[in-house]
Amino acid sequence: MSRVQAIQRAFAVLAALTEGPVGVTEVAERVDLPKSTAARMLATLAHEGAVEQVPGGTRYRLGPRMETLATGLGTTRSLVAVARPHLAELAASLGEAAGLSIPDGREVHYVDQVDSPTPNPVGIRDWTGSRVPMHAVSSGLVFLAHRPAAAIDRYLAEPLTALTERTVTDPTAVRDRLRAVALAGYAWVHDEFAMGISSVAAGIADASGEVVAAVHVHGPSYRFPPAGREAALGLVVATSAVRIARSLRQAVG
C-alpha cells in the first residue's frame, strides 16, 4: 500500500466513525475495504489515539486525539478572529506588518499577519504558517520568558540552532535575555531569524494568566525600529497584547 493510499484509507475510516461507534465489519463495508485491512487501520489509528474502542464492546469511535486537534483548531480560529482588528490597527499606526503566533512545542507557529496599508519600497513576506525555533524570534522569547524554570531548563538543554550569524545560542545569554523580557513585557530581536529583519513582540495571556499567544510587529532593520524608539514601540505592542487578551476573555465569557 502506498503512503498516499494509506492516508486516504485512514481518512475514510475516520469519516466512517463520525456518526457514532461502529464495528470493524461495518467500517469495512462503509469504506469498501477487506475486513482484515479495516481492522489493521483501526488498530493503527487506536495506537495514535485517533480512535478508541467503546469500553466493554468491540465497536470503535473517534478518539481523544481527534477532539484535541479539533479543539485546538477552533481555539486558534477564535484567537485569529479576535486579534485581527488589533493587528490591523497596529499595522496602520506603525507602518509595518503585524502578526500573531502561538507556541508549538519548541517552535513558534505564525497563524496570522496583517500588512501595513502604507506602501513601502521594501516589504516583509507573509510568514503565516511558518514554524521557527523560539530562541530566534521575538515572540518565541516572550513564550520562553513566561515558562516555568524547569521548562526553560529543558529547552536550553538541547542545542540551539543559529539561523543567522546574529542568532543568540549561548544558554547563559538566552537566560539573561529572558529575564530582561519578563521585566520589560516585550522582546526585540534584530537580524536573528533572518538578516535584515527586526521584530518586537508581547505576550497575550488568557484568563488564568498563561501566555497562550503573542502579537508582534516586524520590518526591515534599516528602518525598523526608528532610532531611539525601541522602548516606545515595545510598549505600544505590549498595550495591544493587553487589549487582545481583554477582547479574548470577553469573547470566551
CATH, residue 154: 3.30.450.40
- Which pLDDT value is given to residue 253? 55
Domain edge (last residue) among 38, 62, 86:
62
The tens digit of pLDDT for each residue in 178-226 reads: 999 999 999 999 999 999 999 999 999 988 888 989 999 999 999 999 9
Q: Are residues 49 and 166 in the same domain?
A: no
pLDDT band at 97 (very low <50, low <70, confident <90, very high): very high
Q: How large is the average pLDDT for residues 56-61? A: 82
Q: What is the pLDDT of residue 70?
A: 52
For residue 46, the Cα-to-chain-centroid distance in whole angstroms is 26
103, 34: one domain: no
C-alpha span between 143 and 213 (Å, rounded): 8
The number of helices, as runs of H, and strands, as runs of E, in the chain is 8, 8
**Cell reading at 234:** 515595545
**67: confidence class by pLDDT, cuts 50, 70, 90:** low
- Per the confidence metrics, is the pTM higher than 0.85? no
Q: Are residues 129 and 148 in the same domain?
A: yes
Q: What is the domain range of residue 57?
A: 3-62
Please check whether residues 183 and 221 belong to one and the same domain. yes
Residue 52: the pLDDT is 84
124 and 196 co-located in one domain: yes
In the block, cell 502578526 appears at: 99
d(CA 78, CA 33): 38
Answer yes or no: do 160 and 206 share one domain: yes
pLDDT: is 63 or 193 the higher one?
A: 193
Q: Mark whether 58 and 97 lie in a shared domain.
A: no
- Identify the domain boundary among 37, 62, 87: 62
User: Is residue 179 within 8 Å of 195, Cβ to Cβ?
Assistant: no
The verdict on 93 and 170 lying in the same domain is yes
The region of weakest confidence among 42-46, 74-78, 116-120, 186-190 is: 74-78
- Does residue 204 share a domain with residue 96? yes
Of 57-66, 111-120, 240-249, the least confident: 57-66
Number of domains in the chain: 2
Do residues 200 and 248 both lie within one domain?
Answer: yes
Q: Among 62, 88, 106, which residue terminates a domain?
A: 62
Report the C-alpha gap between 51 and 46 in whole angstroms: 5
Answer yes or no: do 41 and 155 share one domain. Answer: no
> Is 86 found in the same domain as 113?
yes
